[in-house]
Amino acid sequence: MVKRVHNFSAGPAVLPVEVLLEIQQELVSYKGKGLSVMEMSHRSVEFQAIMDDAINDVKSILNLGDDFEVLFLQGGASTQFFMIPLNFCPDDKVANYINTGAWATKALKEAAKNGKQMHVAASSEDKQFTYIPKQYTISENPAYLHITTNNTIRGTEFKTALDTGDIPLIADMSSNIMSKSIDAKKYALIYAGAQKNIGPAGTTLVIIRKDMIEKINPGLPTMMDYNTHISKSSMFNTPPCFAIYVVGRVLKWILAKGGLEAIEKINIEKANYVYDILDNSDFYEGTVVMEDRSMMNIPFRLPTEELEKKFIAESKEMGMLNLKGHRSVGGCRASLYNSLPMKAAQDLAQFMIEFEEKNK
């Protein structure tokens, strides 16, 4: 068995070793066909089956029916930032956003760049995005309300879906997609870059409730129009075939684990290994309001920047990589996505205890 490090990267992130080994076996000759998925025509019967399986497994995991469309697009979540207002905010409507951090900020700025009327319904910027706003105010004539369900950089997370009534709720779930049980039917549109929790970089999962299709603005550029991709089942142009194939394998892995209820239990246990250290130490300091802490991304500080540099360097020597905090906030951060083994969280907790004992 090849030696594996503990990869706490916020993305591209760790993938299940079982999936990687399966891909390795099929890399040169997929199912004995004599060619790789990377070489396969997206119009082939074989790739159509890969795409169909991935779509069906998304719906199965999230308990969605035929009233939702599942797409695999390119351009990352960043492309969705401007596709959403282009498609769903007509000139007489207002795009509403809850601002909970860097990615939410980027999303709402794209709405403004596109000349859309834009309203910030709530924001946690007043406390450096260390909490989730509990109250929000919707504008008149709202087109939708957009939220970012998990803040990768700051480490906050919406714990439940908002009840927005008839106002379409749109969510960037890039950092916590399929990490816990959710009522996906409450969302008019969900999107998520694959590279954090469900696959490699290169494809973006987009789930659209079918009643939203009739709301799409006319006259959009072909590739920016969701109708283009819905009508061609994500294959108007050549899709990111290999990335979709890997996502499909990760979805099978989630199902084999027992689905989202089982995954959530594992993720809670992993996160608690680290949070228990933060909650019982005056050496480490968590940076997020307790009730809003993310299971996926755990930022923390040490008493000095010098100690943080030492912590990151020594953890790397111990085979624990990517524990440096985002460059915009500093400190340390552990990302505990679905595919991170339990042992990685256990080893990190033990290292944190030992590092404190040596450096306090």
- Residue 9 CB contacts under 8 Å (≥ 6 apart), including other chains: 321, 322, 335
225 part of the active site = no
Annotated catalytic residue within 93, 116, 180, 196:
196
Q: How far apart are CA 352 and CA 315, in angstroms?
A: 9
For residue 2, the tally of other CB atoms under 10 A from its CB is 7
Q: How is 238-289 classified by DSSP, letter by letter?
A: ---HHHHHHHHHHHHHHHHHTHHHHHHHHHHHHHHHHHHHHHT-SSSEE-S-
With vertex at residue 45, the alpha carbon angle to CA 41 and CA 48, rounded to the nearest 5 degrees, is 80
103 part of the active site = yes
Annotated catalytic residue within 172, 180, 225, 292:
172
Strand, coil or helix: 317: helix
- Which two three-digit tokens encode residue 344? 């990685």
Annotated catalytic residue within 103, 116, 253, 324:
103
Maximum pairwise Cα distance, the chain? 64
- Residue carrying the six token digits 């006319």: 218
Q: How is 165-194 classified by DSSP, letter by letter?
A: TTSPEEEE-TTTTTSS---GGG-SEEEEET
Q: How far apart are CA 302 and CA 283, in angstroms?
A: 6
270 part of the active site = no
Point out the residues that are catalytic. 103, 172, 196
